Amino acid sequence: MQTLDLIVGSQMGSAEYVAEQVVESLESHGIAVNLHEQPELEACQQTLWLVVTSTYGAGDYPENLLPFISALNDTTDLQGLRFAVIGIGDSSYDTFNYAALNLAALLKEKGATLLVDVEKIDVLQPDLPEDTAIAWLPKFIDSIA
């Protein structure tokens, strides 16, 4: 059974809710998940990560993600790490999904491999964010098979 670390960046709880739905779906596909709602880099021991994060303010990371980002900035080598990112944002802002995009760029800069394009969920669309994330999951699952 494959295991992954699911890292959540959430300011107001929406990304947290999406992540919980994603965990259920992944587990139903036989993938074990370590959920990190207050992520610490040293606790993320898997070589496969899925990040679910919202963007806060003017393109900023959610507060719960800041210590994790700081630790990533101090890391020099993440080769061997494979990851994907689901971003949740509001397309009426010019900083739409910046936290997700910036985190993906940081991980790639540190040597990690992005498995699929960042999934940019727009809360202004009629579909619920968790439904959009669940619909995207087969693409991610295929990339890790």
| Contact (CB, 8 A) for 128 and 88 | no
28-82 pLDDT per residue, tens = 999 999 999 999 999 998 999 999 999 988 889 999 999 999 999 999 899 999 9
Residue 21 class from Cβ within 10 Å (0-12 exposed, 13-18 middle, 19+ buried)? middle
6-21 pLDDT per residue, tens = 999 998 888 999 999 9
Cα-trace Rg, the chain: 14
What is the predicted pLDDT for the residue at 145?
83
**Tally of CA atoms within 13 A in the half-sphere of 7 that contains its CB:** 31
| Contact (CB, 8 A) for 143 and 119 | no
Residue 97: is its pLDDT beyond 90?
Answer: yes
CATH topology classification for 3-144: Rossmann fold (3.40.50)
Q: In the chain, pLDDT over 90 holds for what percent of residues?
A: 90
- Which sequence spans correspond to the domains of the chain? 3-144
What is the pTM assigned to this prediction? 0.95
In SS3 terms, 83-129 reads as EEEEEEECCCCCCCCHHHHHHHHHHHHCCCEECCCCEEEECCCCCCH
Residue 115: is its pLDDT beyond 90?
Answer: yes
Q: Cα separation of 137 and 141, whole Å?
A: 6
